Amino acid sequence: MKKRLLSIPQLMFIAGTRAALGAGVALLASRRMSSRQRRAAGLTLALVGAATTIPAARIVAAGRPSLLKRITQRFA
């Protein structure tokens, strides 16, 4: 597993996108709201989560290796 260095705002963005996607899917599967409300809220959250997956993946892919790994590579 590769270690990546992410800032707190980047980590919050990634967690937020995963939470929106999960909440949307959970609303679609639940029975607590009316069918129309559940479908509208669930699809909106699921689509927002899915649409922000690509930018979140790019943030992780562009994340630098951890400081310890960079130091050991430099002096190895």
Domain that holds residue 60: 4-75
Residues 30-73: tens digit of each pLDDT: 888 888 888 888 888 888 888 888 888 888 888 766 666 767 77
Are 49 and 22 in contact by the 8 Å Cβ rule? The answer is yes
- Is pTM beyond 0.75? Reply is no
Give the count of domains, the chain: 1
User: CA 61, CA 54: separation in Å to the nearest integer?
Assistant: 10
